[in-house]
């Protein structure tokens, strides 16, 4: 064998009780599991290398069901933000906005629209246009060696609408809807695992339910799933969840709810209402899963807070409206008094909006302060500060939004269809710590410290459940014949190192991570291994 991991406490991802075993690996796959080998006096597997795992838990590699590493995987071969957490697969193309399929026009537009998520991409050679070409580029990675972790891709509905309709707030014509169906079908044929939407982001938010249902029908034909960032996580949250359940049931398409939270004051303590809704749907035959991150604040871009009418037409139209005093006053009134749909129907509270990153270095003093704090320091109204920042930073500012509730976070993570997703934005001087800490945060804080989940339950949430949603028959479990995407961690010390003050600190207690049977982390240090590849949709 290439490797034997000896005397590990195996938490195999099934949710069953752990067991002690030797695990042998060859050719990137698990080839033998010998339980209680030492105690039973069995003939133990031998290998070129034997790793003593005494005191360590061996589990499947973690699957990040909601990642924003679409460009990071191509610009950063190290990618320790995820590798060091034990992540071996990320699902990208999230929230309806990503970089394939595109043409020259829409590539420029989407790069501008999500600069706050992924940077402007000036350091990337955008050689692809189709989904298949993007996945091929991931396979090639750095000098043909691959990427740090595996990646699966969702066709982004907002980008598809950009191509077929543009940035207008109107219904698609029959011809445009046919084009969108075709683009989604092509993306699925080329290896995408499903479709994502960002229904509080333009232009995806302009799609009515009938349009989304038709696209979901296409996804269902290919065995994929729909992953919406739905229309509200605030004042209309429950109705928004009901909308997604209903339209996917009409389309007969599996549903995976992105970062399924209940935020803002209006939803304090209302997680049971959401879970009751899901339980009723599951009991009647719906195919539903969800992901969450184990933190209370959210993270997005400052421009996402604007009302949808102010975002129609794309980035240049937004900037023009912000420059016009009368229009800017209308935007302010909508945000502060009415409650903009960009802020989930809740009047914005500027003391909850912390600037986490800027594109223009000269604006760095804003980072780490709330809009209210910066406004107070300047002696001006918070909207004046926010408007200036949007204009001066070319809409590239990212924010932390402190609107979550711990009791909701814990209640949702216990649910039987829950999976883990970081929603990690890696840009900015002060990113959300979830980008570097989600998976050890689950294991350290919510398993060891709080006991919200048992270790076996938690590992299942982070491995086999997402693998089942992605229809990956050979991942997500420690089983003979499965891919050797594995993580070894110390259950007594595993913890997120990232905090809101030091968000890029790597975790503790994860000394070994294997991607395709090769050590991506060894003795707690990142190696130069690039064994990740694009994981394409399984046929059928």
Q: Are residues 222 and 331 in the same domain?
A: no
Q: Are residues 388 and 415 in the same domain?
A: no
Tell me the average pLDDT across 153-167: 97
Q: Are residues 287 and 317 in the same domain?
A: no
Q: Which residues pair with 336 in a beta bridge?
A: none
Task: Please state, in angstroms and rounded to a whole number, the distance separating the CA atoms of residues 128 and 126.
Answer: 6
Predicted confidence at residue 539, as pLDDT, reads 62
Task: Locate all alpha helices (DSSP H) within 78-173, ordered by sequence.
Answer: 80-83, 104-113, 115-118, 131-140, 157-164
Residue 397 has pLDDT above 70, yes or no: yes
Q: Are residues 177 and 211 in the same domain?
A: yes
Over residues 241-265, the pLDDT tens digits come to: 999 999 999 999 999 999 999 999 9
Range name among 36-45, 84-93, 284-293, 437-446 with the lowest pLDDT average: 36-45
Q: At what angle do helices 382-392 and 325-333 cross, to 10 degrees?
A: 120
Task: Please state, in angstroms and rounded to a whole number, the distance separating the CA atoms of residues 154 and 93.
Answer: 5
Residue 32 lies in a domain: no
Q: Are residues 451 and 389 in the same domain?
A: no
Predicted confidence at residue 12, as pLDDT, reads 98
Residue 134 lies in a domain: yes
Task: Please state, in angstroms and rounded to a whole number, the distance separating the CA atoms of residues 260 and 421.
Answer: 10
Q: Are 213 and 247 in contact (CB under 8 A)?
A: yes
Task: Please state, in angstroms and rounded to a whole number, the distance separating the CA atoms of residues 84 and 509.
Answer: 10
Predicted confidence at residue 538, as pLDDT, reads 75
Residue 288 has pLDDT above 60, yes or no: yes
Residue 467 lies in a domain: yes
Residue 467 exposed, middle or buried by CB count within 10 Å (0-12, 13-18, 19+): buried
Q: Are residues 229 and 109 in the same domain?
A: yes
Over residues 450-466, the pLDDT tens digits come to: 999 999 999 999 999 99
Predicted confidence at residue 39, as pLDDT, reads 61
Helix (H) or strand (E) holding 156: strand 150-156
Q: Are residues 270 and 286 in the same domain?
A: yes
Domain boundary among 343, 368, 401: 401
* Number of folded domains that form the chain: 2
Q: Are residues 286 and 339 in the same domain?
A: no
Count other Cβ atoms within 10 Å, centred on residue 77: 17
**Token pair for residue 109?**
């537009």
Residue 356 lies in a domain: yes
Task: Please state, in angstroms and rounded to a whole number, the distance separating the CA atoms of residues 310 and 308.
Answer: 5
Q: Are residues 71 and 134 in the same domain?
A: yes
Predicted confidence at residue 47, as pLDDT, reads 84
Predicted confidence at residue 429, as pLDDT, reads 86
Predicted confidence at residue 499, as pLDDT, reads 96
Q: Are residues 323 and 223 in the same domain?
A: no
Torsion angles phi and psi, residue 304, rounded to 5: -65, -20
Over residues 162-198, the pLDDT tens digits come to: 999 999 999 999 999 999 999 999 999 999 999 999 9
CATH number at residue 91: 3.20.20.140
Q: Are residues 351 and 439 in the same domain?
A: no
List the domain range (segments joined by +) for residue 343: 301-401
230 Cβ neighbours under 8 A, 6+ residues apart: 197, 199, 240, 241, 243, 244, 257, 258
Task: Please state, in angstroms and rounded to a whole number, the distance separating the CA atoms of residues 85 and 511.
Answer: 10
**DSSP per residue, 23-64:** EEEETTEEEEEEETHHHHTPPPP--SEEEE-TT-EEEEPEEE
């Amino acid at each position: 064998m290439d490797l034997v991991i000896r005397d590990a406490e195996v938490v195999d991802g099934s949710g069953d009780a752990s067991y002690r075993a030797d695990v042998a690996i060859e050719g990137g796959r698990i080839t033998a599991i010998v339980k209680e080998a030492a105690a039973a006096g069995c003939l133990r597997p031998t290998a070129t290398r034997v790793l003593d795992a005494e005191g360590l838990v061996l589990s499947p590699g973690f699957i990040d069901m909601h990642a924003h590493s679409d460009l990071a995987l191509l610009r950063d071969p190290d990618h320790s933000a995820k590798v060091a957490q034990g992540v071996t697969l990320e699902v990208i193309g999230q929230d309806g906005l990503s970089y394939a399929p595109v043409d020259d026009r829409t590539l420029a537009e989407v790069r501008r629209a999500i600069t706050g998520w992924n940077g402007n991409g000036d350091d990337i050679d955008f050689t692809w246009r189709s989904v298949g070409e993007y996945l091929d580029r991931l396979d090639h990675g750095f000098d043909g060696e691959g990427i740090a972790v595996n990646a699966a891709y969702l066709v982004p509905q907002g980008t598809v609408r950009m191509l077929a309709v543009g940035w207008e707030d109107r219904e698609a014509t029959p011809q445009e809807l046919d084009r969108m169906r075709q683009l989604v079908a092509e993306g699925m044929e080329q290896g995408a695992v499903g479709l994502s939407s960002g229904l509080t982001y333009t232009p995806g938010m302009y799609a009515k339910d009938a349009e989304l249902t038709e696209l979901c029908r296409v996804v269902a034909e290919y065995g994929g799933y729909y992953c919406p960032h739905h229309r509200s996580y605030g004042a209309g949250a429950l109705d928004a969840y009901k909308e997604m359940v209903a339209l996917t049931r009409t389309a007969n398409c599996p549903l995976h709810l992105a970062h399924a939270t209940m935020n803002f004051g209006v939803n304090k303590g209302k997680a049971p209402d959401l879970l009751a809704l899901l339980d009723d749907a599951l009991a009647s035959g719906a195919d539903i899963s969800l992901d969450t991150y184990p933190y209370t604040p959210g993270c997005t871009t400052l421009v996402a807070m604007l009302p949808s009418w102010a975002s129609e037409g794309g980035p240049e139209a937004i900037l023009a409206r912000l420059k016009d005093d009368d229009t800017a006053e209308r935007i302010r009134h909508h945000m502060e008094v009415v409650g903009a749909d960009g802020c989930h129907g809740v009047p914005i509270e500027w003391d909850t909006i912390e600037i986490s990153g800027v594109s223009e270095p000269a604006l760095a003093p804003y980072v780490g302060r709330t809009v209210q704090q910066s406004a107070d320091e300047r002696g001006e109204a918070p909207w004046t500060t926010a408007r200036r920042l949007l204009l001066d930073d070319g809409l590239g500012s990212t924010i932390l939004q402190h609107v979550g509730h711990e009791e909701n976070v814990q209640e949702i993570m216990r649910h039987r269809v829950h999976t883990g997703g970081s929603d990690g934005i890696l840009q900015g001087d002060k990113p959300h710590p979830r980008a570097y800490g989600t998976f050890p945060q689950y294991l350290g804080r919510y398993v060891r410290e709080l006991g919200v989940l048992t270790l076996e339950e938690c590992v299942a949430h982070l491995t086999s459940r997402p693998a089942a949603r992605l229809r990956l028959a050979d991942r997500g479990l420690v089983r003979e014949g499965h891919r050797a995407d594995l993580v070894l961690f110390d259950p007594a010390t595993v913890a997120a190192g990232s905090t809101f003050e030091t968000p890029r600190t790597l975790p503790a207690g994860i000394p070994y991570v294997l991607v395709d049977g090769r050590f991506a982390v060894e003795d707690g240090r990142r190696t130069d291994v690039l064994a990740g590849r694009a994981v394409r949709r399984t046929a059928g």
